[in-house]
Structure 1
Amino acid sequence: MEGTTLPAAVVRWPVHRCRADLVALGAEAALLVLAVVVGAVLNAREVGLHADAAPLYATWRPHLGWGTPAALLVAGAVIAVGARWTRTAGWVVLLATGYLTSVAWTLSLALVDGWSTGFADRLTAQAEYLYEVPRVTDVGATLAGFTGRILDFQPDSWSTHTAGHPPGALLVFVGLDRVGLGGGAVAALACVLVGASVTISVPVALRALGAADAARAVLPFLVLLPGAVWVGASADGLFTGAVAAGLALLAVRGWVAPAAGGLLLGGALYLSYGFVLVGVLALAVLALRPAGRVAALLAGAAGVAAVVAAVTVAGFRWWDGYDLVVERYYQGWAADRPYGYWVWANVAALLLSAGPVLGPALRRAVATLRRGGYAPVPPSGPAPGTWALLRRPPAPTVLLPVAAAVAVLAGDLSGLSKAEVERIWLPFAVWLLVATAHLPPATRRWWLAGQAATALAVNHLLWTVS
């Protein structure tokens, strides 16, 4: 076997513990049913959920499309041979095949809603970034004056998504337009191509952190990610790929790659204000590095600082934008959406994006800490006292999902993510799925079928196009 595998206690997990997985699955189902029923009641009472198919931002509309047979074909192929094939394929072939299959899965799901509505025109609505692209004639002036247009109810206010994010998100699409790659279809394709790259970034990170076998086990679950419904196509798919690449570079040995990772993660701060929470995952990756943690930390921090300094000098101050975005947030639907519903219904939405495997996988990952679920002991042995956890942290398949869960919990409790988290939390969902490495090999095909069924049900029963 290649690299460091999961702890032996995890590999020999007793069969009877699968019953606990069914209990976790039942709890997920109960939460989802409760969120749907309570959401329907609140909508009937005209409470301002602003989500007709709560807990998802969608409307009920059963339909088929010419992407349907393609999606079924891709799902069937991955379920049939994916888990077995990933154990033996060459590394480069594995990553290339996983990536191309993820692209096919995402495009197929998008095309269930049709070429125009489901893909080419999805990013051209008034609320989206492309609406503002023609209005950007000077990037420097846009950065310097960006905060002045965040608040609503003024003649030159930014549209919803542009106002709700730092300027980097808008400038990505401005850049595509300026190099001749403008239009909704190209923008949507960019989101899909970058978003699917998590099937490369996450396994690369795991392999660099000494969990090569886990990287192979996780790959099929990243390919059949139910959240691909929103990767194709929303800007959050592009954000997800960018964040994953930055974190993967932090894991690679040396200091050059971590410096590049810092640049990417610094840029991510200007894609979404919520990506300050990615810092939790970044620290987890650095703690898991087998060597060169201090050098990687300094290199990554330098990369982040360089981006922040450059954008600040150019005229946009992140902290000012954040303060104004919070105000803008409550100028809109957030003022109506009840925190008491969304603070727990968001979790149900996350389950539909990450898939039903999430609960059982996380349960197994956390439980392994009692059964030797730690990273390998350094050659010098574990350090005593308070440094013991740093010298011998939990295994990557435990610490990374836990770090992602902490970030999600913080975002949820903040009240600044009421609804639509099925796409907003995609950058964290892909790291939560790292816990699937703890599933018994004999059960993985069934869990993959559940993941695919979730995506297909959401995409065919609901109209997720905003």
Structure 2
Amino acid sequence: MTTQESPTDTATDTASDAAAREAQSGSRASRGRAGLVAVVVWAVLVAAAFAVGHLLRRARLSSEDLLPPLHAQLRADPYTWRMIPAVCVAVACVAVLPVLVRRLAWRPLLLASWAATLAWTLALAWSDGIDHLARPLDNPGEYPAGVGAVRDDPLGWLRTFTDRLHDYPTHVRGHPPLPTLVVWALDAVGPGGTTWPAIVIVLVGTSAVVAVALTVRRLAGEEVARRTLPFLVMAPLVLWIATAMDAFFLGVGAWGTALVAVAAGRDHIVAAVGGGLLLGSLPYLSYGLLPLFAVPAAVLIACRPSARVVVALLCGCAAVPVAFTLLGFWWPDGVAATYDTYRVSSGSAKRSYWYFLVADFAVLAILVGPAVAHALPSSLASVVRAARARTAPPAPGLLAGAALLGTLALALSGVTRGEVERIWVPYAAWIVVAAARHTPPSRGWLAAQAVTALAVQALVLSEW
């Protein structure tokens, strides 16, 4: 026996479909308006931060920055023809990446994305000259300048690190001992000089694109991860991958989080221990990386791993702190000693807290770019809606929101007054994930990301 729909039922269904389409269209229009407002706010925030910074400097209320909020200066002769290689790489990436995302298998796509990130990073850096890659590490305040004190007796150096902190270069005394030990180890096994550490920093930093994509794939599926990849490649934050040590921190944190995501999804104990080892090293690479734990914490909340994975992860996390403590470095003493040197320094401690509390987020806006600003409101709103409905939050909004919370905590602490163009790098990559909300191929937004990076490189001379 068959049943036939009455004309009334058909009309009702048609009306319901139309209402649903209208609601969906209205929702897209609302998201579009919110995104455009966010881009305007992005532009106003960046412009206002530079304008107020200029006024503070003229009033002699800025301690050392020539171009606040950046720890940089305007180029006396803005780049033109020297940007041609970087422009060519940018055009190629904007044109080709959306095609690769659609056509390549997953693993080749990851390799291609890493290669594209590496090419984009080096093209921007080499506009300053072929030797620029290692030049930032030649600064007398950088980690390589402190390697000489470690070379003969690394264990003795570690035991007395806190007591002799004032004797070391700026970046050595501003961080825990692990970054200096990493550079020392690279110097011991490599050819010497700063070129080898610079290469390692760039390779590790650019590889974070793969790690972040793997994490997104585990949480949200391959389609979302594919949409994320072009924006990870073209993010303006690559300007500070060559060559700031914070790019190395980015890679360590990203791979630690990716291993946690893999371990939670596959109940993989080895991945859990490996992820724990990398994440446990973060506070010993930089005191400012502690809030970055919000990102792997969000992954754990989303994935709900088994108890044995959590135990393995915690054991891995404990390994580095236990090792450093047994070898003579007590982390709380390091924090206290570094804070003492910070208070008497002529730099960060004398910068305006209230100006940089806002201006630091203008720098973060530059790092993530306008495409992320456009997508961020809808990404964060999706997390709020999921929380109200008690459903699983979308991964892009969850990861971006966790990273934003980390930056907010760090900014409120008052120890990140300036120089955040490098400090924000490990956080900014996770905020870029919000751009997965854009509908492919999104070449216009990818071009906006590229133009932002090119403009900063052409106009601003940075120490990193």
TM above 0.5: yes
Structure-2 separation of matches of 1:370 and 1:131: 47
Q: Which runs of 5 or more residues in structure 1 are unaligned?
A: 1-7, 152-156, 375-385
- The question of 1:102 aligning with 2:100 is answered no
- Count of residues paired in the alignment: 436
Query: 1:167: which partner in 2?
Result: 177
What is the Cα deviation at residue 12 of structure 1? 10
Query: 1:154: which partner in 2?
Result: none
What is the Cα deviation at residue 16 of structure 1? 5.8
Query: 1:113: which partner in 2?
Result: 128
**Residues 399-414 of structure 1: matches in 2 within 5 Å?**
399-414=398-413
What is the Cα deviation at residue 94 of structure 1? 0.3
Please say if residues 34 and 378 of structure 2, whose CA atoms lie closer than 8 Å, have aligned partners that are also in contact: no
What is the Cα deviation at residue 353 of structure 1? 1.2
- The question of 1:448 aligning with 2:458 is answered no
Q: Which residue of the other structure, out of 278, 285, 301, is the alignment partner of 1:264? A: 278
Query: 1:197: which partner in 2?
Result: 207
Structure number, greater radius of gyration = 2
What is the Cα deviation at residue 95 of structure 1? 0.4
**Residues 61-460 of structure 1: matches in 2 within 5 Å?**
61=75, 62-64=77-79, 68-116=83-131, 118-136=132-150, 137-151=152-166, 157-252=167-262, 253=266, 254-289=268-303, 292-332=305-345, 333-369=347-383, 392-441=391-440, 444-460=442-458
Structure-2 separation of matches of 1:319 and 1:170: 18
Please say if residues 13 and 440 of structure 1, whose CA atoms lie closer than 8 Å, have aligned partners that are also in contact: no
Structure-2 separation of matches of 1:11 and 1:322: 52
Specify the SS of the correspondent of 1:54: coil
Query: 2:15: which partner in 1?
Result: none
Instruction: Give RMSD over aligned pairs.
Output: 2.2
Structure-2 separation of matches of 1:238 and 1:13: 40
What is the Cα deviation at residue 142 of structure 1? 1.3
Give the helix-richer structure, 1 or 2.
Answer: 2
Please say if residues 397 and 434 of structure 1, whose CA atoms lie closer than 8 Å, have aligned partners that are also in contact: yes
Please say if residues 249 and 258 of structure 1, whose CA atoms lie closer than 8 Å, have aligned partners that are also in contact: yes
The one-character-per-residue Cα deviations of 1:205-226 (angstroms, maximum 9, x if unpaired) are 1112242211111111111121
Please say if residues 35 and 376 of structure 2, whose CA atoms lie closer than 8 Å, have aligned partners that are also in contact: no
Give TM-score scaled by structure 1 length: 0.89
Query: 1:21: which partner in 2?
Result: 35
Specify the SS of the correspondent of 1:394: coil
Q: Which runs of 5 or more residues in structure 2 are unaligned?
A: 1-20
What is the Cα deviation at residue 63 of structure 1? 3.2
The one-character-per-residue Cα deviations of 1:11-47 (angstroms, maximum 9, x if unpaired) are 9962563232111100111111111111001111111
Structure-1 separation of matches of 2:173 and 2:208: 27
Please say if residues 48 and 337 of structure 1, whose CA atoms lie closer than 8 Å, have aligned partners that are also in contact: yes
Please say if residues 220 and 394 of structure 2, whose CA atoms lie closer than 8 Å, have aligned partners that are also in contact: no
Structure-2 separation of matches of 1:69 and 1:329: 41
Structure-2 separation of matches of 1:82 and 1:65: 25
Specify the SS of the correspondent of 1:132: helix
Structure-2 separation of matches of 1:12 and 1:365: 17
Describe the shift of the 1:67–1:179 C-alpha distance in structure 2 as closer, same or farther (beyond 3 A): farther
The amino acid that maps onto 1:462 is V
Give TM-score scaled by structure 2 length: 0.89
Please say if residues 98 and 199 of structure 1, whose CA atoms lie closer than 8 Å, have aligned partners that are also in contact: yes
Structure-1 separation of matches of 2:82 and 2:193: 22
Residues 66-75 or 107-116, more deviating: 66-75
Structure-2 separation of matches of 1:70 and 1:60: 21
